[in-house]
Structure 1
């Protein structure tokens, strides 16, 4: 079968590899689509701390069951499914206390073992979710990052009529906005400096602020009668955002770290004291979040479709990271069609 293989820093190739065989309790899934994630970009760059070459990339995938070995868990050949790609140890403190998604030794399909930018992959049947018939496979390829957004709103304690600020209009920031809109947000302000992403955010109904041309905090204060936003979602992981994220937030508001800050960054901690701000962070999602994301796709398919800027065939996707890094190519969500 064909697969996109990470072969080392800044080196990927589409190769013929052996088709996997399902073990007891696993399903063989013929992949329809697989999304390219920020963590895939990190792997390609050689900066991911766990991913080791050679590796089949991809954890945002959807496909059709072609074979099942052993316990089917109610699934059957022909079912279209989206697998929950997290693998937990079951023994650490987090796993023992109902938080397996932050397992001490968490592993993820496509990062720690071969993933879904391929024609086939094997997954345990107890992590599969059936995709609603009304949802296209291309849109269903966004279920995994959509689950990140669902979990993010849960972690932030979002409530209907909350006003929110999203720093970063990439796929995760945009999805946080979409979920918030459909959960009853009163106002959604999103910032970025990428014009294509800002235009996409405006089409989704958000107030889009170009952070190169306008001061985000001033914009938010003016839009909220001087109060500030109920929740600020920091989705960039950038140093400048870490320093600014306290100022658009109202007194006793919530700041939710979504983008991963891989290096220590300055934070205006005095703001945390003087306005009694709250801060939380988020990592991936629970199985419940994933299931909610699957159900939500039925209501927001048209908006999810807007996020997909490019679709590449598996047979010709070896240049996908060059395309994503090209400033002349305005990418938002890039999908690989694994049927071609």
Structure 2
């Protein structure tokens, strides 16, 4: 069995996997696939060395099967197909007001604690979700990013026949667009990459470049002069953030999905003039995992198209190098089965 260890300073090493026997309340999993996430890429670039211990296995977008149960675990059986919701909220306090998924002392498994780029992974049982036996484990590895999209769309309160804009056509942006469309919205994706624009159109989405189309004017034209009902900002680009309020109709809504480490300019006059609303959306809650698993099991979303390639686990260092030169790739899965 194999594992890939991040050693700090942009260095990875392929080595042996050392299975950890599950303690009380834990589950040991045989990892099937683990997707490469944007956060993993940030770690690979050395941008999170102050947070990520080393050497350590990272990765969290996984699928697999139950291999061994710790004492007291009764909700799973050996062989069950599962995914992990990689949030350890055992540091939750009263001041967190019950929002355990974003509690102040939240530990993200795969960043703050060992992750899934290994053949065997031991995690707390409360993080594990069953997946129907008929679901392909490759698709199951998309549950974690799909749950992000389900959380975003749920917080955005998307309903049928709304006009929704998704700014940014990376993997999460594409998934947000697909989930919002499934909720009944007319979805428009804004993206500057010609590759991603074409990819979105192959998924049946309307997609435009803001460099070529006046999207605010287009939104008003398509809505009888009103504008969009909701905007999802997924790009993390300052020009996109600046454009959000122009796109929206009266009492339009903004969901901020992207991470902005520094303040950016937003037209607050539009918030006053149009009575706009804005909320942040961070990770997911258990119900979003339930919804993501249901969507994958239903086969109603073209999720197979999201998987760009599948590589053996030992190729992970090469994958990080290739993604640095080809950022337009959607989702790369690592086969962790050794």
> Is the shorter-chain TM-score for this pair beyond 0.5, marking a shared fold?
yes
On the 8 A contact 1:5/1:55 being kept in 2, the answer is yes
Q: What does residue range 248-287 of structure 1 map to in structure 2 within 5 Å? A: 248-287=247-286
Distance change (3 Å), C-alpha of 1:15 and 1:260: same
On the 8 A contact 1:9/1:43 being kept in 2, the answer is no
Instruction: Name structure 2 gaps, 5 residues minimum.
Output: none
Q: Distance in 2 between matches of 1:94 and 1:21?
A: 34
Match of residue 338 from structure 1? 336
Distance change (3 Å), C-alpha of 1:279 and 1:16: same
Q: Distance in 1 between matches of 2:171 and 2:250?
A: 28
Q: Distance in 1 between matches of 2:2 and 2:104?
A: 33
Tell me how far 1:94 sits from its aligned partner: 5.5
TM-score scaled to structure 2, two decimals? 0.95
Match of residue 123 from structure 2? 123
Q: Distance in 1 between matches of 2:41 and 2:314?
A: 19
Match of residue 3 from structure 2? 3
Distance change (3 Å), C-alpha of 1:302 and 1:278: closer
Match of residue 151 from structure 1? 151
On the 8 A contact 2:229/2:248 being kept in 1, the answer is yes
Q: Distance in 2 between matches of 1:220 and 1:51?
A: 43
Q: What does residue range 186-265 of structure 1 map to in structure 2 within 5 Å? A: 187-265=186-264
Report which stretch shifted further, 28-37 or 157-166. 157-166
Distance change (3 Å), C-alpha of 1:131 and 1:158: same
Q: Distance in 1 between matches of 2:240 and 2:231?
A: 11
Tell me how far 1:301 sits from its aligned partner: 6.2
Q: What does residue range 1-340 of structure 1 map to in structure 2 within 5 Å? A: 1-48=1-48, 50-93=51-94, 95=96, 97-185=97-185, 187-300=186-299, 303-327=302-326, 330-340=328-338
Moved over 4 A (4+): none
On the 8 A contact 2:17/2:120 being kept in 1, the answer is no
- 1:319 counterpart SS class: helix
TM-score scaled to structure 1, two decimals? 0.94
- 1:246 counterpart SS class: helix
Tell me how far 1:14 sits from its aligned partner: 1.9
- 1:196 counterpart SS class: helix
What does the per-residue CA deviation read over 1:181-205, in whole Å, with 9 as the maximum and x for residues that have no partner? 11111x1000111222222211222
Q: Distance in 1 between matches of 2:335 and 2:194?
A: 26
Instruction: Name structure 1 gaps, 5 residues minimum.
Output: none
Tell me how far 1:18 sits from its aligned partner: 2.1
Q: Distance in 2 between matches of 1:305 and 1:8?
A: 33
- 1:297 counterpart SS class: helix
On the 8 A contact 1:73/1:126 being kept in 2, the answer is no
| Alignment RMSD | 1.7
Q: Distance in 2 between matches of 1:298 and 1:109?
A: 25
What does the per-residue CA deviation read over 1:112-144, in whole Å, with 9 as the maximum and x for residues that have no partner? 011001111001223221111232100000001
On the 8 A contact 2:17/2:119 being kept in 1, the answer is no
Q: Distance in 1 between matches of 2:35 and 2:138?
A: 9
On the 8 A contact 1:14/1:315 being kept in 2, the answer is yes
Q: Distance in 2 between matches of 1:218 and 1:339?
A: 51
Report which stretch shifted further, 218-227 or 176-185. 218-227
Q: How many residues align?
A: 337
Tell me how far 1:7 sits from its aligned partner: 1.3
Q: Distance in 2 between matches of 1:293 and 1:103?
A: 22
Q: Distance in 2 between matches of 1:299 and 1:178?
A: 14
